[in-house]
Structure 1
Amino acid sequence: MTPEEKTFPVVTEVGTAFSEVLARLHESAFVPEFRWSSKAFADLFATPGVLAFLASMNNEPAGFIMARSVADEAEILTLSVAPDWRRKNVARLLIETLLSDFSEKGISRIFLEVSVDNKPARCLYAATGFSAAGIRKRYYADGSDAEVMTKKIISSRGN
């Protein structure tokens, strides 16, 4: 096994200062009509309850997850992994990190929307315990539907 194969992603919480990094990662993962600008990320960070975790491999940004929480519920706003780092458990680690953080904060349920056409993402979410909760017809700019998925989070607070 090479040293690179033994390397695991380092995950850190990031904020507004990383808006450009997140925008570049988002650009690498989405077609132009679905890409978010660095300003869009900065604006989201200015919203109460928004947080993001960045995964780095060998000191290079590999992926991130951004979510928003209100009261005891949350939603994943976006998840992006650079093409070179896909299928290497980066997305799973980001989801697990987010769920652990929300568990510690007493968040009880998390939601997300994912394109019905994005089978790899839907499979990943199902494998991490999310279940289908409904369909949002013509949710995306291209007219495609979104599957709404949800997961109950067990609090680590002992409540």
Structure 2
Amino acid sequence: MLIRKLERQDVKTAAPLMAGFRVKLRSFKGEITEPDTDSGEAELNEYLDNGFPAFIAAVGDTPVGLMVCRLDEPCVWVEALYVAPEYRRQGIASLLFDKAEEIAASFGESTVYNYIHPNNEAVKAFLASRGYTVLNLLEVRKPYPGEKLTRKIRVDESEFDY
């Protein structure tokens, strides 16, 4: 297993991972979609164009895990973390996340920031195992055109569309 920076020449082979990440995110809202590797490729190119640090986990020449970070110095945000289903539970996400924590440490910080879906139990458990906990953020925005808000979530005394 090799963890390394995502390079431009990796984009085409890593695009299915980004596409899988987007499919997984949509599934948390009950949307069933197919992976769109062209969109995955475009998204990865956009991240690289904008200087976002991105890493892949590779078995041989095959990317099996992906992480993209956003830097808002000194804060490091994980924008995407995804491991191909057949490679999960092997420590790959931890190896990738270590890279984000290394970047944070290079800025003198001891934490990495994460936006996660409230019903993403796997990522909540993963982050908790690394000492992370929910501290304070709630995303407030208008629904996207055509977005269907099909659920409610409760935070303390408040209920929100989701």
* Pairwise same-fold verdict (TM > 0.5): yes
Which residue matches 1:117?
119
C-alpha offsets along residues 14-47 of structure 1, whole Å, 9 cap, x if unaligned?
2333222232112334423886521111111111
Considering fraction of residues, name the structure with more strand. Answer: 1
1:40 partnered with 2:43 = yes
Which structure 2 segments of 5+ residues have no match? 24-32, 154-162
Question: Residues 92 and 43 (structure 1 numbering): CA distance in 2 closer, same or farther, change over 3 Å?
Answer: same
**Distance (Å, rounded) in 2 between the aligned partners of 1:81 and 1:71:** 26
**Distance (Å, rounded) in 2 between the aligned partners of 1:129 and 1:142:** 33
Secondary structure in 2 matching 1:67:
strand
- Aligned residues between the structures: 137
- 2:15 corresponds, among 19, 23, 30, to 23
Q: How does 1:1-159 map to 2 (within 5 A)?
A: 9-31=1-23, 32=33, 36-48=39-51, 50-107=52-109, 109-133=111-135, 134-136=137-139, 143=149
**Distance (Å, rounded) in 2 between the aligned partners of 1:128 and 1:66:** 18
**Distance (Å, rounded) in 2 between the aligned partners of 1:58 and 1:145:** 43
Which structure 1 segments of 5+ residues have no match? 1-8, 147-159
Q: Which amino acid aligns with 1:45?
A: L
**Distance (Å, rounded) in 1 between the aligned partners of 2:115 and 2:35:** 14
Secondary structure in 2 matching 1:125:
helix
Question: Residues 22 and 63 (structure 1 numbering): CA distance in 2 closer, same or farther, change over 3 Å?
Answer: same
**Distance (Å, rounded) in 2 between the aligned partners of 1:58 and 1:41:** 21
State, as a whole percentage, how many aligned pairs show the same letter. 19
Give the alignment's Cα RMSD to 1 decimal. 2.8
